[in-house]
Amino acid sequence: MIVSKKDIPNFLDKLISEYQVFAPVKEETYTLFKQICSGADAALDAGNTKLPAKEIFFPQSEKLFSYNVSEEGARLEAPVDDQKKVIFGVRPCDAKSLTLLDNVFNNDKYQDPYYLTRRNNTIMIGIGCNSPASTCFCTSVNGGPFDTKGLDLLLVDTGDAYVVEVVSDKGREIAEKAGFAAAADANKDAAAKVKQDAVVTCQVNIDGLKAKLDVNFYDSIWEKIHEKCLGCGACTYLCPTCHCFDIVDEATDCNGCRVRNWDSCAFPLFTLHGSGHNPRTSNKERYRNRIMHKFKYFVDNFNEIACVGCGRCIKNCPVNMDIRVVLEDIRGSEARLDS
């Protein structure tokens, strides 16, 4: 199928009457996913958003429930957001990150109703990346600029129009309802050409990385690697696969609500025991955990790397800690196999 770019606002406006529609919106110097009221508000050519699409499903701050407590008992209200949503213009790396987060929020024992209800009620319409940035390395971590994981529809930008690839039944339904025209062979060829030309230039060799991480927990490499890291949470908050959170009460007396906020393994308080003991004493342990979590623990638990190669951490780190360099350094280090 195919849709002309000038028809996109109209397509979005129709969706808006039925769904909450989220799309990248221009904010001064970057874009963010926001709910749009008009199809014209979507900024589609601006590359990846500053914050990943995860925030739509797992907001930085979210009320879990409100409560009113009296002598007789407690009245809890936990409204779960079950509004139908469409995410338009999500990039393949962000779409894939959600399939990774699904493992966490739908684990072997528990389901997170807030995240999963949103996931189940959301249609994901992605746009492939014709010109991946120099910081993108999706193809090194089992992704790609036109990867369809986590998407219902994938749009391929062929200049004046998007060639629409149907990925799921949900996607087919929405495309048919929108009345997208059939793509001519020429359009399909153009899309194929675009895909072929979109080269992710940056390759990170991760062969043998996992094997190394399996044995190098006590290796001296960790003493050096973290050294310039400031221990702030910028990389974790901008990361599409980081999912750590804190739970706090916001209350006055017996009325209040329980809220969860993003948290970061980079912060010392994250693991501090009530006794004062901290199992991750210094930045070294905390940085090691971040790398281990993404490239070893997550692989052990879910057989997937918890990194989609979006490059946000690279572009935004205040001291240019570059995860690509870090991984290379680890891979190239002499791991003590006996440790």
- Show contacts with another protein in window 133-192 (CB under 8 A): 133-135
| Closer residue to another protein in complex, CB, 14/258 | 258
Alpha helices in 108-184 (DSSP H): 113-120, 169-178
With CB under 8 A as the contact rule, the residue among 18, 45, 176, 334 that binds another protein is: 45
Residue with tokens 């309802």: 177
Helix (H) or strand (E) holding 122: strand 122-127
Give the residue among 82, 101, 9, 160 at the shortest CA–CA distance from 293: 101
Give CA–CA dist 89/91, Å, rounded.
Answer: 6
Site for another protein contains 264 (CB under 8 A) = yes
Name the minimum Å distance from CB 17 to another protein: 28
Name the minimum Å distance from CB 179 to another protein: 31
Applying CB under 8 A, the span of 33-41, 99-107, 151-159, 172-180 interacting with another protein comes to 99-107
Site for another protein contains 60 (CB under 8 A) = yes
Applying CB under 8 A, the span of 15-23, 162-170, 203-211, 232-240 interacting with another protein comes to 232-240
With CB under 8 A as the contact rule, the residue among 188, 301, 304, 333 that binds another protein is: 301
With CB under 8 A as the contact rule, the residue among 181, 211, 254, 337 that binds another protein is: 254
With CB under 8 A as the contact rule, the residue among 41, 102, 304, 322 that binds another protein is: 322
> Coil, helix or strand for 219?
coil
Beta-carbon contacts of 155 under 8 Å, excluding residues fewer than 6 positions away, are 3, 125, 126, 127, 128, 162, 163, 164, 165
Name the minimum Å distance from CB 237 to another protein: 5
Name the minimum Å distance from CB 333 to another protein: 15
Give the residue among 165, 179, 136 at the shortest CA–CA distance from 324: 136
What CA–CA distances, in Å, run from 90 to 56, 86, 163, 308? 11, 10, 15, 13
